[in-house]
């Protein structure tokens, strides 16, 4: 998941490719309320074709939530996981753990 690498900083220290967890959260919230569409997410975060699979996975995880309350909790949970991963909190330091945690929200 190249997009997660860019958010968590696993793959690069290059500030030009890094996506701040706050930015991802804000954009996903705007997507959730219908203020922006998928293409806006792609354009704003400079998402490559390979990253599109990842953004689609995040969108699908969000949309799979059964109701508005669950969707809100999912957004907050995803944000928290990304923040903890970015700072290297134990249990949040590898991509497999982050994916598993997001999937279990």
Residue range 94-101: mean pLDDT, rounded: 92
Q: How many C-beta neighbours within 10 Å does residue 55 have?
A: 20
Instruction: Look up the pTM and report it.
Output: 0.88
pLDDT at 21: 93
For CA atoms 97, 100, 103, 105, the dihedral sign is negative
pLDDT at 99: 93
Domain boundaries, the chain: 2-103
Span 49-89, pLDDT tens digits: 888 999 999 999 999 999 999 999 999 999 999 999 999 99
Residue among 96, 74, 75 nearest 85 (CA): 96
């Amino acid at each position: 998941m190249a997009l997660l690498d860019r958010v968590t900083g696993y793959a690069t220290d290059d500030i030009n490719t890094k996506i701040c967890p706050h930015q991802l959260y804000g954009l996903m919230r705007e997507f959730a309320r219908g203020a922006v569409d998928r293409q806006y997410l792609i354009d704003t975060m400079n998402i490559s074709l390979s990253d599109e699979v990842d953004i689609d996975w995040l969108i699908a995880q969000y949309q799979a939530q059964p109701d508005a309350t669950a969707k809100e909790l999912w957004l907050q949970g995803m944000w928290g996981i990304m923040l903890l991963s970015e700072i290297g909190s134990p249990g949040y330091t590898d991509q497999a753990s982050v994916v598993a945690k997001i999937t279990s929200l």
